[in-house]
Amino acid sequence: MSSQHASEPSSSPGPQPLAQPISAGFVSALVAFTSSFVVVLAGLSAVGASPAQASSGLMAVTILMGVGTVVLAWWSRLPITVAWSTPGAALLVTTGAVEGGWPAAVGAFFVTGLLIVVTGLVPPLGDLIARIPTSVAQAMLAGVLLQLCLGPITGAVANPAGVIPVVLVWLVGMRFFPRWAVPAAFLVAALVVVVHVVSSGVEVDAATIVPRLEFVAPEFTVQAIIGISLPLYLVTMASQNVPGMAVMKGLGYDVPWRRAIVVTGVGSVIAAPAGGHGINLAAISAALTAGPEAGPDRDRRWIASVTSGFVAIVIGIGAAAFGTLVTLAPEGVIAAVAGLALFGTFASSLKASLEDVDDIIPAVVTFAVVASGIAIGGVSAAFWALLAGLLVRFVLRLGKRRRTNL
C-alpha cells in the first residue's frame, strides 16, 4: 500500500476543485458517527450513565473529535482525523458499573485523558506501550467485542420482526456498498423504532431531544482507575492511536506523533466531566480523508479533514436526539446494530491476535479471560486478561530461552 501511495504525485497540474475533499470529509464524518454511536451510548450506559448523561457524553466526544480534527488538520496541513474510541466504548459495555457509580467512571475517563497527555509528553512511555505484544492487545480487544458481536444473533431470536430486517439490509449493504452498510442498517433500525413508537403510542418528551451537556464532578477510586482507566488507555493506544499512525504512514503522511497525542489527550480530559470516554486518532475513517477519495491533490486533502471536523461538530450538537432514539428502541434492535458495526473490528482483532504462531496460547488465554466476563475485586476482566496473557507469554518464552541456552 505504501509504495502505491508513495508514487502518487504531490499535486496535479492546475488548481483542483474543492468539491472532492469536501464531499470526502462529509462522508467521513457521517459514516464515522452513524457506524458506532450506538456502541458509545451502550458503553456509557453500562458504567452507570443515565440516558441524559449518556447523550451528554456522546455529544461531548463528537464535538471534541470534530474540534480536534479541525485543530490538527489546520495546524499541520495534513489530513489528520480524530475519532472517539469505539473499542474503548465496547470495553465499557463489558466492564459494567464500578464502585462509586457514574462519578467514578467519569473520574476514570479523566485519568485516561491524563495518561494519554503524559504519553505524548514523555516519549519513553509511548515506547513502553508500543512494546505490549500485538497478539495480547488484540486478543484482549477481540474478547471485549465478542459479547457485543452476539447482539444480532440474540436479537434476531428475541425480536425477529425488528432485528432481521436490520441484519438483511446490512448483509445487502456489505455486498454492494460496504462503506454504507452499517449506516444503512441504522437507518432501518431507526424506521423500526419509529414504527414501534407510533404503534405502541409511546409519548416522546420533547425536552429529551434538546442539546445539553450534563456535567458531573469526577470521583477518583482505585477500582475505577484499575478497572476502567488502565484498560481504556491501553485499548485506545493499542487499537486506535498506534494503528491510526500506521494508516497515515501507509498513505504517505508523517503525523506529528507528540502533537497529535497531546491534542487528543487534552480533548479527552475536557470531555470527561460531560461524560465523554475519550477521543483518539482515527484509523479506519482516516483513510477516507487521507486517501484518493479526498482528491488527487495530496497537499489539499487536509481540507477533507477540516470538513469532517466541522460536520462532526454539527452532528454532535444534535446527539441528544440520537440518544432519545436509542432509548425508545424495541428489544434487541440497538444491540444488533452495535454488533453489526463491530463485526469488522472483531474480525481484524481476532486475526491479528493469532498471526504470531509463538503467541497463539497467550492470545487464546487473554481472549478466554476477557470473554469469561469475570470481575475480581470489582476490577473488570479486561485488566485480568491482560495480566494473564502477559504472564503466560513470559513463562512460555522463558522456557524457550532456557532450552536455547542449553
Residue 210 falls inside a structural domain: yes
Q: Which segments of the chain have a pLDDT < 70?
A: 1-17, 202, 204-209, 377-378, 399-406
Residue 11 falls inside a structural domain: no
Cα–Cα dist 279/316, whole Å: 13
Residue 13 falls inside a structural domain: no
Cα–Cα dist 232/268, whole Å: 12
Q: Are 131 and 242 in contact (CB under 8 A)?
A: no
Residue 395, domain extent: 22-405
Residue 15 falls inside a structural domain: no
Query: How does pLDDT run across 56-107, given as a tens digit for each residue?
Result: 999 999 999 999 999 999 999 999 999 998 889 999 988 888 888 999 999 9
Cα–Cα dist 283/99, whole Å: 33
Residue 9 falls inside a structural domain: no
Query: How does pLDDT run across 131-188, given as a tens digit for each residue?
Result: 788 888 888 888 888 888 999 999 999 999 999 999 999 999 999 998 888 889 989 9
Residue 94 falls inside a structural domain: yes
Residue 160 falls inside a structural domain: yes
Q: Are 370 and 386 in contact (CB under 8 A)?
A: no
C-alpha gyration radius of the chain: 21
Q: Are 214 and 53 in contact (CB under 8 A)?
A: yes
Contact partners, residue 341, CB within 8 Å, separation at least 6: 35, 36, 38, 39, 86, 182
The candidate with the shortest Cα–Cα distance to 273, out of 96, 29, 59, is: 59
The number of domains in the chain is 1
Residue 5 falls inside a structural domain: no
